[in-house]
Amino acid sequence: MASTHSAVPPPERVAARDARSAQNAWSGVLFGVGLIAFCDEAVFHQLLHWHHFYDRSTPDVGLVSDGVFHAISWFATIAGLFLFADLRRRGALSPLRWWGGVLVGAGAFQLYDGTIQHKVLGLHQIRYVPNLLVYDLIWNITAALMLAAGIIVLVYTRRRAPSAK
């Protein structure tokens, strides 16, 4: 029995993906930011109790800051999913490009968190232990690897202009 599903997308779908290349990337970036922020919040703030978003005040202020952080991360997640749904509706979803955006968003947020929030602003540390170096290295190297992988995927999947003849 022959399959009616072709591995090669029809030309109109390719054109739709090309026209919505930036939306594919931005949808993934927003979702990636929301996803990694949710993981940070759930694992490090709630399950392990290693830190709050803002640790330079009372535990109550830290808890409120976690709630604000969580709400903002969900706004990013929802915005990314609205863009994703629009791409699906238009037949313009480029899954590989979207996943590249997810990696860029997650990696960029985690690198920002590990450098700006942890070190420059001192809002919190990953964990309050005498030697933070191991935690900082794992956090920031993981972030840089996600960011680099996402950039590679986005460059690989960028819309290619037709060559002039």
Residues 132 and 50 sit within 8 Å (Cβ to Cβ): no
Using one digit for the tens of pLDDT, what is the confidence trace for 23-72? 999 999 999 999 999 998 888 878 877 777 777 778 788 788 888 888 99
Using one digit for the tens of pLDDT, what is the confidence trace for 123-155? 878 778 888 899 999 999 999 999 999 999 999
Residue type, 38: F
DSSP codes, the chain: ---S--SSPPHHHHHHHHHTHHHHHHHHHHHHHHHHHHHIIIIIIIIS----S--SS-HHHHHHHHHHHHHHHHHHHHHHHHHHHHHHHHT---HHHHHHHHHHHHHHHHHHIIIIIIIIS-S--SS-SS--HHHHHHHHHHHHHHHHHHHHHHHHHSPPPPPP-
Using one digit for the tens of pLDDT, what is the confidence trace for 61-104? 878 888 888 899 999 999 999 999 999 999 999 999 999 999 99
